[in-house]
């Protein structure tokens, strides 16, 4: 009965919080769209980011009230809200978004996501993302470029122009490089070389670096884990059963990230893929060690009990 009550309270708070935040951002987007005055548009963007921060803060309070969470946060002491960051992260659950925003909301600028240009025309969502200054990108297919070779490189140039506003505004861009949420069945089906991760997709992060690489100061590699709730962390979070969250933050200076033309230099593409695969191998080893340690502790506690 207690679990059901916790679940209902969590769902009500999450739904109301998300609905009000979305409405607030949407109204600011309307003002920004209808009145094209630069100062007012900047004010609306600032307001939309503050609403997103409030949404993340309410989620954080709810998470900690409903669940007896033990937080284990490693690294990230040098992060600042005045920096430019590309965040890459493993993706296990819908809980990741809540956890990532909860941990980083006071450490770095509120996150942006590169979005497909077509999403700009999705009712409410497109305008809200535009209000948050999220860059919309055009990606031309190989087939399209074969018919229209004059368009080659224009998608990247368009994205760079849309990111120009970030030159003077501290910015965080988030990329879940696995492309989808991890599950052990999915990893087996895709023949992932990792024990606890899916293979990373390098194209998205390479595109982000090509568009904004000169502005980033660090790649922030975040590893998320729910060692006591591996199977269904989001469900357990809503029902008050989430007991431990591990967040490991590695700051990688841009000088240590391979630089080159990913889309036109095959040798660099292979180098970049090898670098990203190396990061994922280290992440996988960390998770494997973490899970084995937690299992050993649980086993000792069971024997004592």
Residue 203 has pLDDT above 90, yes or no: no
Percent of the chain at pLDDT exceeding 90: 50
Characterize 113-128 residue by residue with b for buried, 16 or more Cβ atoms within 10 angstroms of its Cβ, and e for exposed: ebbebeeeeeeeebbb
Predicted confidence band at 153 (pLDDT cuts at 50, 70, 90)? low
- The token pair at 186 is 């999915």
The length of the chain, given as a count of residues = 305
pLDDT band at 128 (very low <50, low <70, confident <90, very high): confident
Determine the Cα–Cα distance for residues 166 and 172; give it in Å rounded to an integer: 10
Asked if residue 257 has pLDDT above 90, the reply is yes
| Structure token pair of residue 43 | 């004010």
What is the Cβ-side half-sphere exposure of residue 254, based on CA atoms within 13 angstroms? 16
Domain spans, the chain: 2-304
Distance CA 114, CA 94 (A): 19
Indicate the average pLDDT of the chain: 87
- Asked if the model's pLDDT at residue 105 lies above 60, the reply is yes
What is the rounded distance in angstroms from the CA atom of residue 19 to the CA atom of residue 45?
Answer: 18
Q: Which residue has the higher pLDDT, 291 or 163?
A: 291
Q: With 90 as the cut, is the pLDDT of residue 133 above it? A: no
Model confidence band, residue 284 (pLDDT cutoffs 50, 70, 90) = very high
Residue of 92 and 305 predicted with greater confidence: 92
Q: What is the CATH number of domain 2-304?
A: 3.40.1130
- Reported as a single tens digit per residue, the pLDDT across 158-197 is 667 767 778 778 889 888 888 888 888 888 888 899 999 9
> What is the pTM for the complete model shown?
0.87
């Amino acid at each position: 009965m207690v679990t059901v009550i916790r679940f209902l309270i969590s769902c009500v708070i999450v739904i109301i919080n998300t609905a009000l935040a979305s409405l607030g951002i949407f109204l600011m987007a309307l003002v920004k769209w209808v009145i094209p005055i630069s100062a007012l548009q900047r004010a609306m963007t600032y307001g939309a980011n503050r609403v997103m921060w409030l949404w993340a803060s309410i989620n954080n309070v709810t998470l900690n009230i409903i669940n007896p969470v033990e937080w284990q946060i490693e690294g990230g002491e040098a992060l600042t809200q005045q920096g430019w960051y590309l965040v890459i992260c493993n993706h296990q659950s819908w809980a990741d978004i809540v956890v990532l925003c909860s941990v980083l909301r006071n450490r770095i600028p509120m996150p942006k996501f590169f979005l497909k240009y077509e999403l700009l025309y999705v009712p409410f969502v497109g305008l809200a993302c535009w209000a948050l200054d999220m860059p919309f990108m055009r990606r031309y297919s190989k087939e399209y470029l074969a018919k229209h070779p004059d368009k080659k490189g224009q998608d990247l140039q368009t994205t760079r122009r849309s990111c120009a506003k970030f030159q003077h505004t501290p910015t965080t861009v988030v990329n879940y490089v696995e492309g989808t949420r991890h599950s052990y069945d999915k990893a087996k089906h895709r023949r992932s070389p990792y024990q606890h991760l899916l293979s990373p997709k390098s194209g998205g992060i390479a595109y982000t670096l090509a568009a904004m690489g000169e502005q980033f100061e660090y790649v922030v590699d975040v590893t998320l884990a729910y060692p006591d709730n591996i199977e269904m962390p989001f469900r357990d979070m809503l029902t008050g059963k989430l007991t431990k969250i591990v967040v490991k933050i590695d700051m990688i200076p841009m000088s240590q990230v391979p630089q080159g033309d990913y889309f036109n230099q095959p040798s660099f593409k292979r180098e970049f893929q090898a670098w990203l695969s190396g990061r994922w191998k280290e992440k996988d080893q960390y998770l494997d060690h973490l899970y084995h340690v937690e299992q050993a502790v649980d086993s000792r506690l069971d024997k004592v009990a």
